[in-house]
Amino acid sequence: MKSARDPICGMTVDIATALQVEQHGEIRYFCGESCREQFVNSLVPSDPAGPCAIVIFGASGDLTKRKLLPSIYHLVANGVLRKEFAIIGVGRRDWSDRDFRGHLREAMEEFASPNIDNELWDLFEDRLSYCSGSYTDLETYRKLDRMLEQEATARETGGNVLFYLSVPPESFGSISTYLGESGLLREPAGNWRRVVIEKPFGHDLASAMELNLTLSKVMAERQVFRIDHYLGKEVSQNLLVFRLGNSIIEPVWNRNHIDSVEITAAESIGVEGRAAFYESTGAFRDMIQTHLLSVMALVSMEPPTSLEGEAVRNEKAKLLDAIRIPSKEEVRTGTVRGRYGEGEVNGQLVPGYLDEPSVPSESTVETYAAIKLWVDNWRWAGVPFYLRTGKRLARRVTEIVIRFKNPPLQLYGKTECSPLGPNLLIMRIQPNEGMTLQMRAKTPGTVTRTRAVAFEFDYSQFGSVEFSDHSTGYEKLLYDCIVGDPTLFHRADMVEAAWEIATPILDGWESGIAGELTTYAAGSWGVKEADRLMGKDGRQWWTM
């Protein structure tokens, strides 16, 4: 008998007799009509986004071809974006509409679904146009304004426009200012205009405040969508559902039951030809100050009064405000930084950071950072949060580990098959999104012995219910931008609060409080000092 798993209830079913649904060329099997109907209903978007025009500054860049265009295509293909849309690319290259379309067709074949629907692509291609010009020339914006008026009539976009600034961060302020001066950010009655900017949101607190001030002069805060692709990951979005939608979780989500929280973002790759960018940021600015602090806020924020975007962001902002600003002593004893040397990754010898192309020999930039933070509020007082990130580590993984406290009395401590350890909840953000709950259980036999067992959940249990396996991770975020849901995006006060936390650490490193950079071998788990950071607290990093 050949069997399959019902993607709704998880039951094993006989494929010869099970109810079936075909999706993206794959057959799904169901135990009964109820599960089949639930699955089918999940395939139909309840509220498709649109109509609108999407304007991409930096249209010839990597982000556009790798993420943005494939994401928009997936939204249309899955019925999540209405067909009353237009895409206008803005760039300095002297391209025609035909050049732009040819460039993006090649990108689609490489980065989107492997089997592009030709009929859908014809519709999609017909809505692509290109505006050539300088970002600092007001005439470019006048030309763009005329094109938007034409698209509003031809494509029935309703005058709604999403401006996506896929450009270097030093251009965020100037482009926004020109958009404001040209009138492109004005919102006539019934229409909306929104601006999306990528991280980094400033290089330090002063520059972040300056950028926020610049943006506030030409648009309302509700028009600004500061995007963080980590929050587009399913597990990141599922954090609140997991916490607030399950009555067995929230009662233990506090200092009385949780020993510590660990957030890791490890990469096996190096700087990949982006040395100039990395030299201006480093591991801490690139990952911890933005992504990991934001994930930490989702993990530890208080339940919001509703799921409205501002209600959720209010609680995230309160949590960031509650994170203790590190003192000089805490920077010295609770932070670690390092730089990768040569080593072996996936069986290949790789150079150290200082030997990478375009990296100056006198570089002092860290490629690894680990820190310990405290949240000074009623729920989390006394619970350490350990955050780490690095390049050229043993493997690529981003995960959250919730370490629960041990039972007050270790009755089974002398009868263990495996070392006695705490209950763990591991939430994997990438590469294999899912969750693992590690608990103790008795092994079979007449003698009472226990060992750690894992209860696993991964998203394959749901099947592919919205986007294909070639999803970029930007689909959800772009959809939210278009419908105006700010929940997963950074607000100005949240950005500044994160920099308030980061500034003493960066200043301390620059002044030498935390010592010199330590070299770690590529392919390892980073510098030994990071192990000691947790070891002196009687803990150790989780590595599966």
Cross-strand pairs, 266 = 390, 397
Element (H, E) at 335: strand 335-341
CA distance 80 to 179: 28
**Which among 351, 337, 185 has a CA at the least distance from the CA of 269?**
351
Element (H, E) at 28: strand 26-30
- What is the token pair recorded at 155? 């494509």
Cα-based distances in Å from 369 to 215, 395, 399, 431, 499: 31, 16, 16, 21, 16
The answer to whether 494 touches 296, Cβ cutoff 8 Å, is no
Q: Is 203 a catalytic residue?
A: no
Largest CA distance in the chain: 83
Residue 56 DSSP code = E
Which residue in 103, 229, 291, 490 is the catalytic one?
A: 291
The answer to whether 51 touches 82, Cβ cutoff 8 Å, is yes
Residue 451: how many other CB atoms lie within 10 Å = 13
* Beta carbons within 8 Å of 109's beta carbon, 6+ residues apart: 116
Residue 158: how many other CB atoms lie within 10 Å = 15
Look-up of token digits 């770690």: 520
State the SS3 of 355-400: HCCCCCCCCCCCCEEEEEEEECCCCCCCCEEEEEEECCECCCEEEE
Catalytic residues: 291
